[in-house]
């Protein structure tokens, strides 16, 4: 039998694994920012308030997490219960031609494979970080999981590939019909503004193994 504490602890862990606070997870899911706040977990009368099925479903969709993986969090598993292989490529290689189609989906040969827990997006892929240009967010050897199909919102960490072949991981500050503004993950590197006409694709970072 599921308990109130188990379900809320699983939501907190889901937020943590995606580098989000409870309110950050709610906003990323398109919900009211207070939906998952601790103050909302007990009613004014002192009764336990459970998260709705809809709010959990939206949180899972926003983070690319399967229901089975979420159940694993409820049960206190150290890792989600289900894994599957996803394509893996070195970040430095991602700028070369032949690895992606024009929509930013993995294509062609040369990909390795890595097992990732709880990946629901069949188009997801992984990039292995090399060098120090993304520290402290991502370090040399970290593997980041990318979803080219996931919705992107302001504040999300994203991978962007330009038509010139440059590939970068940044935080999305603002996107308009004409340009995207990107915040660097490393203070030693400048923020960028790129014309949308120069962007080949942009995809959301869902998770990182660190």
Please write the tens of the pLDDT for every residue from 62-113: 888 877 778 878 876 444 445 668 889 988 888 887 888 878 888 877 899 8
**What are the DSSP E strand ranges found in 80-147?**
83-90, 112-117, 125-128, 143-147
Looking at residue 113, its pLDDT comes to 87
Q: Is the model's pTM score more than 0.75? A: no
Rounded distance between C-alpha atoms, residue 177 and residue 157, angstroms? 19
- Structural domains in the chain, sorted by start: 4-74 (1.10.260.40), 83-209 (2.10.109.10)
Which residue did the predictor score with more confidence, 95 or 27?
27
Please write the tens of the pLDDT for every residue from 157-202: 999 999 988 899 999 999 999 999 999 988 889 999 999 999 999 9
Please write the tens of the pLDDT for every residue from 105-153: 888 778 998 876 666 677 889 999 988 888 888 888 888 889 888 888 8
Task: Please name the residue ranges forming H helices in the chain.
Answer: 4-17, 22-28, 53-63, 67-74
Rounded distance between C-alpha atoms, residue 130 and residue 188, angstroms? 16
On the question of a cis peptide bond just before residue 136, with omega within 30 degrees of 0, the verdict is: yes
- CA-based nearest residue to 180, from 149, 146, 145, 154: 154
């Amino acid at each position: 039998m599921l308990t109130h504490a188990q379900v809320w602890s699983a939501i907190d862990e889901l937020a943590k694994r995606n580098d989000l606070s409870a309110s950050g997870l709610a906003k990323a899911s398109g919900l009211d920012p207070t939906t998952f706040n601790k103050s909302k977990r007990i009613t004014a009368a002192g009764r336990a308030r459970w998260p709705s099925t809809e709010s959990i479903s939206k949180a899972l969709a926003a983070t690319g997490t399967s229901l089975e993986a979420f159940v694993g969090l409820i049960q206190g598993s150290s890792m989600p219960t289900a894994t599957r292989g996803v394509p893996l490529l070195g970040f430095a290689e991602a700028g070369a031609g032949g690895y992606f189609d024009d929509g930013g989906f993995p294509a062609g040969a040369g990909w390795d494979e890595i097992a990732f827990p709880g990946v629901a997006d069949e188009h997801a892929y992984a990039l292995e970080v090399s060098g120090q240009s993304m520290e402290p967010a991502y370090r040399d050897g970290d593997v980041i999981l990318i979803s080219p199909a996931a919705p992107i919102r302001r504040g999300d960490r994203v991978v962007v590939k330009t038509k010139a072949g440059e590939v970068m991981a940044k935080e999305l500050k603002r996107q308009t019909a004409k340009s995207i503004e990107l915040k660097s993950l490393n203070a030693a590197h400048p923020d960028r503004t790129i014309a949308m006409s120069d962007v080949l694709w942009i995809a959301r970072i869902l998770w990182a193994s660190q």
